[in-house]
Structure 1
Amino acid sequence: MAKPDLSKIYGKIKIVDSFSDYDVQVVKNFADLHVKIVEHFPDSPGKWKIVENFPDFRIRIVENFPDFKIKYVDYFPGVR
């Protein structure tokens, strides 16, 4: 399966245990996407607002075989 277009994965994110849109591995190095958790304006690649209801994407955190890898950052979120 081809990697998803990471430049489109932003907005309201719900962390789930099943029925995810994407499986994601959290890493410290060599991430595909740098993610900043925000409270307002999750309107560009890598900006995620964690929500319980009406998510744009459902994400499952996995240890193995992710669709892509993320790193949490405080500055400069986006595709790497």
Structure 2
Amino acid sequence: MNLPTVPMPGGVAGLIGSQIPAHVQDAEDEAVFAMLSIEQRRQPMAPEQLAEALATVARANKVLAAYNPGLIVKAGGPR
């Protein structure tokens, strides 16, 4: 059964976000930034840069998975 999506008001999203610990928010920001830097480049990254970016995503995903596995950042994800 497919339920319709309902938009979430900004105030509600802010209240939900305020309940997430700061280190988890920081980890999500790091993972999203690293993944975007990988996906949005016009030229391929140097192998060292790619390895560093992927390591950042992996490190941040460990924190996110420990808090809530649904927060894990994936390539091509909705973020």
TM-score normalised by the chain length of structure 1? 0.25
TM-score normalised by the chain length of structure 2? 0.25
Higher helix share goes to which structure?
2
Higher relative contact order (CA 8 A, sep 6+): 1
* Structure whose alpha-carbon radius of gyration is higher: 2
Higher strand share goes to which structure?
1
